[in-house]
Amino acid sequence: RLDADSNPIWKNLNGAHHDLEVLPDGSIWVLTRERRRLPRLGIDRSVLEDYAVHLDASGRESRRLSLLEAFEGSEFREVWTRSGARPGPHGDLFHTNTIEVLDGRVAERQPAFAKGNLLVSMLKLDAIAVVDPAREEVVWARAGGFRKQHDPKLLDGGNLLLFDNRGPGGARSRVLELDPETLETAWEYRGT
């Protein structure tokens, strides 16, 4: 964290990558990763396991939530296992690239999108998910119709805005507005 003159206030060298979200109280949810051997996965080498980590306003870690374990302990386990997703040459399991703390504005329509839950995007799984940090469990997940996606955002009307990095057939990138239940496209933009 830096002050207005770019002087360091504190630092936490925790392997942070891709994204973070600062909360009104000054605390931060951030994506981190750790290289580990996980024999239960049947992979005979170390892999990168992604975490959602909560830092207090002073930069100290107050929570660590394994995104892999959140999938494994949920009814959405098939999103992780369906593709037979295997780590790439660097051992990357999920390549989680987005974390957004949900504000609960559409929880009445979609209870999984409750205030405080975490919306995440896993590039290697071609999937987006909502994690309930209190339960340490994925409570909603979707895959399909997009590839290597980034930056899902929940819109006021309850749909998701998503950057689809590969598009249909992997030809080109596009921006999609999707219904989170049906994955129907409300609109899309793709350039030439």
Q: What is the pLDDT of residues 72-126, one digit of tens each?
A: 989 998 887 775 567 777 888 899 999 999 999 999 989 999 999 999 999 989 9
Could you tell me if 139 and 74 are in contact, meaning their C-beta atoms sit under 8 angstroms apart?
yes
Residue 29: φ, ψ to 5°: -100, 130
Cα torsion through 185, 187, 191, 192, rounded to 10: 70
Start-to-end CA span in the chain (Å): 39
**pLDDT above 70 as % of the chain:** 95
Q: What is the pLDDT of residue 54?
A: 98
Average pLDDT over residues 32-57: 93
pTM of the model: 0.93
Q: What is the pLDDT of residue 90?
A: 81
Average pLDDT over residues 133-138: 97
Could you tell me if 167 and 181 are in contact, meaning their C-beta atoms sit under 8 angstroms apart?
no
Which H or E run contains 156?
none
Mean pLDDT rounded to a whole number for the chain: 91
Could you tell me if 115 and 104 are in contact, meaning their C-beta atoms sit under 8 angstroms apart?
yes
Whether 150 has a pLDDT exceeding 90, the answer reads yes
Average pLDDT over residues 168-191: 85
Quote the tokens at residue 11: 């630092």
Could you tell me if 175 and 188 are in contact, meaning their C-beta atoms sit under 8 angstroms apart?
yes
Average pLDDT over residues 158-169: 85
Q: What is the pLDDT of residue 85?
A: 61
Q: What is the pLDDT of residue 170?
A: 62
Could you tell me if 52 and 105 are in contact, meaning their C-beta atoms sit under 8 angstroms apart?
no
Look up tokens 């998910």; give the residue: 129
- Residue 183: count of CB within 10 angstroms of its CB: 14
Partners of 120 in the β-ladder: 99, 129
Average pLDDT over residues 170-179: 86
The separation between CA 182 and the C-alpha centre of its own chain, rounded to angstroms, equals 20
